[in-house]
Amino acid sequence: MTTAPRRLHLALHPYGVGGPGQHGLWKDPRVAKNASIDIGYYIRQAQAAEHALFDALFIVDSQFINATYPAHYLNRLEPLTLLSAVATHTSRVGLVGTASSTYNSPFNLARRFASLDHISGGRAGWNVVTSFDTGTAGNFGLDEHLDYATRYGRAREFVEVARGLWDSYEDDAFPADVERGVFLDPTKLHALDHEGEHFKVAGPLNLSRSPQGQPVIFQAGVSEEGRDLAARVAEGIYAPGGTLAQAQEYYADIKRRTAAHGRDPEHIKVFIHGSPVVAATDEAARRREREIHEEDKDLGRSLGLLGRSFGAHDFTRYDLDAPFPDVAHLAEKGGRTTATKIIERARTENLTLRQVAEGLNAYKEGPFTGAPETVADALQHWFEAGTLDGVNLAFRTEEELNLFVDGVVPLLQKRGLFRTAYEADTLRGHLGLPVPENRHTAARA
């Protein structure tokens, strides 16, 4: 037997009118001011991704805002509604939506993702998040946000329940035999009867399995709890990236943890975020990269971004040029890993609040900036250096997406790093993931 060569996976993450770090994007004359709520925009993005043979379209989400949040966050479509519409205008590209395990119920969310999986013919994926915006609690009738341990324990059980519900019907549960008058074989329908620490769910789900068996589970694990959850349940990971060395450490750690939990490390695909800037020459691309940074410089927005890591805390109440305030107590129920790093750096380097906020949006040369050949070289280097299985790509405009698709993708294809045609119809097929056998069928066997 021969082992098929590894191939790079590519996904597309639309910016709309601009999320964190793209605060000035909505001012660009090429960007429609209603892009984030225009289904036509998302359909065009998905069709462009499908034309380029990308694995998936990825939609991020959160359920709390205040006036300091990025433009895209202030006014955007709900992911599963959006992706259901996109599914009817595409046929191959995967459709991954973000949904919180903290602020949803397993039965309803499992049904919604299973519905998207059927509507799309087996192309759905769920990005499991635990929500670090503490203000979300107030939108769901809670007095306070759940702590880290509770959120991650709930997430693990939530995925377990969802997968159990997705196995409610065995694949041959519906003979639909008119002559015998038998639509359902009742022996192939199974209640869940789950009783756990966080959930009590009877089941069964009133929806059969899709062509890919179950939606693909994605997760973005950074903390110890996050990495462990990802290694236990995820099939795709949105990794933090960072430097090449940091990405290598994360990649090796996740694969090692996955194996330790008795899973095949090849059955978990690590994606890093990438914002390529492609131009005719390396110099032109670096110049454009610098221009983008200048367009997005905004101290007020940087303070808002800083606040998100501390539960949407309002940092405008402090003296900008005084030492960074003592807000360590806010980290536990916010983005703890990021918040802790911010506090440690501020303390070690004796930084003011202004310096911390400006540092979040400091200019950094991206690894995937340059002429098409340069960008293809960089992607190949990172891929072969053991940092990633795929890249979750974000482009500011449709024109910049087209520059990548027309200039970089053909080079990756010539090098044998990226597909030249779709070889599957489902998201699992694109990612090389197995179709999970129905647990009840397996038990019967």
Three-state SS string over 45-92 comes to HHHHHHHCCCCEEEECCCCCCCCCCCHHHHCCCCHHHHHHHHHCCCCC
pLDDT exceeds 70 at position 320: yes
Q: Which of 138-142, 147-151, 373-377 has maximum average pLDDT?
A: 373-377
Distances (CA, A) of 403 to 73, 199, 280, 367, 406: 26, 48, 9, 17, 5
> How would residue 312 be classed by pLDDT, with cut points 50, 70 and 90?
confident
Q: What percent of the chain has pLDDT over 90?
A: 74
Q: Please, what are the domains in the chain? A: 9-284+365-444 (3.20.20.30), 299-360 (no CATH)
Instruction: Report pLDDT for 40.
Output: 98
Q: What percent of the chain has pLDDT over 70?
A: 98
Exposure of 30 in the CB half-sphere (CA atoms within 13 A): 9
b or e along 14-31 (b: 16 or more beta carbons within 10 Å of the residue's beta carbon)?
bbbbbbbbbbbbbeeeeb
What's the one-letter identity of residue 276?
A: P
Instruction: Report pLDDT for 2.
Output: 45
Beta strand 236-239 pairing with 269-274: parallel
Higher pLDDT, 149 or 266: 266
Higher pLDDT, 84 or 308: 84
Instruction: Report pLDDT for 335.
Output: 67
How confident is the model over 428-443, as a mean pLDDT? 97
What's the one-letter identity of residue 302?
A: S
CB 431 within 8 A of CB 269: yes
Beta strand 194-195 pairing with 200-201: antiparallel
Instruction: Report pLDDT for 386.
Output: 96
How confident is the model over 207-229, as a mean pLDDT? 92
How confident is the model over 405-409, as a mean pLDDT? 98
Per-residue pLDDT of 15-68, as tens digits, reads 999 988 788 899 999 999 999 999 999 999 999 999 999 999 999 999 999 888
How confident is the model over 257-278, as a mean pLDDT? 96
What pTM does this model have? 0.91
Instruction: Report pLDDT for 1.
Output: 43
Instruction: Report pLDDT for 277.
Output: 97
pLDDT exceeds 70 at position 81: yes
